[in-house]
Amino acid sequence: MESQMTAYDTCKQAASPLGVYSNFKLLDISEKPYTSIKIFLRCWYRNWRTRKQLLALSSQDLKDIGITRVDALQEAKKPFWRY
């Protein structure tokens, strides 16, 4: 059974700059540089957007997903390029 890569997996793979080996596989940006750039931009935008949404959640919503307000604030303080 072949496993599906999630958006997070793709972003982690793309986070290896210039084709450096990551936990997933080598991302050779020399073959498809525009695709690699699009992946970076998409992942960075997703990080920025979801961290902003995390701050907007109520205490009850955070409790429902199993994190504290402190955890949410720590995650939201990360720069968009950091995972």
In this structure, of 22-26, 46-50, 69-73, the range with the lowest mean pLDDT score is 22-26
Reported confidence tier of residue 37, pLDDT bands at 50, 70, 90: confident
Q: Do the Cβ atoms of 11 and 39 come closer than 8 Å?
A: yes
Reported confidence tier of residue 32, pLDDT bands at 50, 70, 90: low
* Residue 53 DSSP class: H
Structural domain spans, the chain: 7-77
Spell out the residues 6+ positions from residue 45 whose beta carbon is closer than 8 angstroms to its own.
80
Query: What is the predicted pLDDT for the residue at 11?
Result: 67
Q: Is the pTM of this model over 0.75?
A: no
Query: What is the predicted pLDDT for the residue at 80?
Result: 85
Say whether pLDDT at 34 is over 80.
no
